Structure 1
Amino acid sequence: MSTLLTPDTLAHLQSWQGRSESLHDLITPAPLRALSATLDRDDAEPVAGTELPPLWHWLFFLPHHRQSEIGPDGHAKRGGFLPPVPLPRRMWAGGRLHWHAPLRVGDEVRRVSTIESVTHKAGRTGDLLFVLVKHEVHNAHGLCLTEEHDIVYRPAAQSGDAAPAPLSAAQQVQPGAVWQREVVPDDVLLFRYSALTFNGHRIHYDRQYVTQVEGYPGLVVHGPLIATLLVDLVRRHSDRPMKRFEFKALRPTFECADQRHLRVSGQPDASGQHIRLWAQDYAGWLTMQASAELV
């Protein structure tokens, strides 16, 4: 059982609440072309004024830490904007997004990020720390997107730790999906998405590190990539703009070196405005649940 989060340590970490930072960027077409290829889409060439698809803002405001500032897991060393949590496992647990106006190629954009809360919970294997970050993205016309980003920090895996009971997608999600797509989350796909998002976290591309240091059975599929695949499924079946999207990661998804599939599924309601979405791994275990609201 982890004892890294003493009351003094927790109080220090919670002193980060209310901190904010502001970043600027320019929406350029090259990352859009690259993600379109990565998702196996046949999109038109993006030009000035092309609307940014939902969640593709994750291609911008990327971290640019110097190499000397990178920690042993490939992330930036702890501290700075995010609190220096002494738990080694860091995961993107979920998020909620609300689009107010479109972002477009050529927009000069600003993202204001604020740490809303730092919350401690006791899990089966020790301390859990949840950090909630609120992002607000503006262009020259005003606020375009509000996003709440959930980050969870966990202790290192220990021998003898009991794995949480998985949830069967077939039993948890009823009725069956109207929309489905299967994707092979191999190491090439994970590498391309890591490169596009300048994500150095070694759990996504370094099989020796992820299995021997962090104790996972294989490379971990990025939570944001799965969320992007869920939104991409909606875009393949509906031209209506997205107003809201929320998602929650339930279980890590691992790359399939033997070509087994990750399945993303969607179930729209009768109006076509509200859509239940979920992802399951090759064994049929539910790995992410989400919902989308269209205009």
Structure 2
Amino acid sequence: MSEDFSAWIGRSEELFDRIDAARCNALLSALGQPSGLAEGSEMPLLHHWLHFWNVQPPAGLGPDGHPAKGGFLPPVPLPRRMWAGGRLRFEKPLLIGERVTKLSTIKSVTAKSGKSGDLVFVTVEHRLSGESGLAIVEEQDLVYKGETPPGALKTPAAEGPVPSAPWQASVMPDTVLLFRYSALTMNGHRIHYDLPYAMDEEAYPALVVHGPLQATLLADLAVKSLGKPLATFDFRGQVPAFAGTRLDVCGEPAEGGAAFWTEQSGGKNMVATVTTV
């Protein structure tokens, strides 16, 4: 790829929001978990992704439902974009009702070519500070890629047995859950709710389960399994997970911390490592 996006490296933007009890409780309810968070309660991990909406008018959207390319992020010409993974460090809890500042900076833009064609990786750092100082340092890895050939991605096989991992839970990612998570994060990407678009335009065999939703499920299982506050959470998507097939959320102890992953029909979709305080 000949385009030079080095001018975007170092660009920053600052956003403000208030941690909202209604959004956090709505996600807990959508996941079948106890809700009832009130002002002053600790925000569940990764629920900051329910905030800092980037709401654009219709003219500001791309054909995939995402905000149009350009602006803060570089205008990479490749048609497909996704959130491939990230790394988070938790400095202190954020509280429901707390006013939070998010400072985002583009750290790198890297173009690569391989068997799957041209790829562009964009890493963005987010520093979230509450009323008592820095709370979360996060790096997000975004990947831009070319068209996916029809048939390249297969629907998961019939549901297999429950995994034997020592820590586990399961979720049915149906269309209602995907719609609710899209709404709560103001994520307009059509692969999560528009089946004809997902199949005909992006060559997926079914609706795609959000990567951040999978990461949230992994972080939740980690907190419940380890019984300690998390210090770091690193995650990476390997293959998409699809609606309509049971999604198993699994974990086990690992050297220096613990390993967690989601899987469908025996294949891992997202993997994560965590350390505790």
When the two structures are superposed, what TM-score results if normalisation uses the length of structure 1? 0.87
**Could you say which residue in structure 2 is the equivalent of 1:150?**
141
- Gaps of at least 5 residues in structure 2 are none
Equivalent in 70, 88, 92 of residue 79 of structure 1: 70
Mapping of 1:92-107 within 5 angstroms?
A: 92-107=83-98
Distance 1:210 1:224 in 2: 18
Contact 2:195 2:206 (8 Å CA) reproduced: yes
Question: Are 1:213 and 2:205 an aligned pair?
Answer: no
1:116-137 deviation per Cα after TM superposition (whole angstroms, max 9, x unaligned):
0000111213100000000000
**Could you say which residue in structure 2 is the equivalent of 1:202?**
190
**Could you say which residue in structure 1 is the equivalent of 2:275?**
293
Paired letter, 1:237: S
Question: Are 1:266 and 2:251 an aligned pair?
Answer: yes
Mapping of 1:170-185 within 5 angstroms?
A: 177-185=165-173
**Could you say which residue in structure 1 is the equivalent of 2:23?**
31
Specify the SS of the correspondent of 1:286. Answer: strand
Distance 2:218 2:77 in 1: 32
Equivalent in 57, 66, 75 of residue 48 of structure 2: 57
**Could you say which residue in structure 1 is the equivalent of 2:258?**
275
**Could you say which residue in structure 1 is the equivalent of 2:233?**
245
Specify the SS of the correspondent of 1:146. Answer: strand
Question: Are 1:42 and 2:24 an aligned pair?
Answer: no
Paired letter, 1:32: C
Specify the SS of the correspondent of 2:176. Answer: helix
Q: 1:213 to 1:163 in 2, by over 3 A?
A: closer
- Gaps of at least 5 residues in structure 1 are none
Specify the SS of the correspondent of 1:15. Answer: helix
Paired letter, 1:34: A
**Could you say which residue in structure 2 is the equivalent of 1:228?**
216
Distance 1:242 1:213 in 2: 39
The CA deviation at 1:35 is 0.8
Distance 1:81 1:252 in 2: 27
**Could you say which residue in structure 1 is the equivalent of 2:6?**
14
Contact 1:264 1:279 (8 Å CA) reproduced: yes
Contact 2:153 2:204 (8 Å CA) reproduced: no
The CA deviation at 1:162 is 5.7
Contact 2:153 2:203 (8 Å CA) reproduced: no
Instruction: State the Cα RMSD in Å.
Output: 2.0
Specify the SS of the correspondent of 2:272. Answer: strand
Contact 1:176 1:267 (8 Å CA) reproduced: no
Contact 1:262 1:279 (8 Å CA) reproduced: yes
Distance 1:156 1:14 in 2: 24
**Could you say which residue in structure 2 is the equivalent of 1:122?**
113
**Could you say which residue in structure 1 is the equivalent of 2:177?**
189
The CA deviation at 1:268 is 2.5
The CA deviation at 1:269 is 4.8
The CA deviation at 1:237 is 2.9
**Could you say which residue in structure 2 is the equivalent of 1:135?**
126
The CA deviation at 1:235 is 3.0
Deviates more, 1:111-120 or 1:238-247: 238-247
Paired letter, 1:151: L
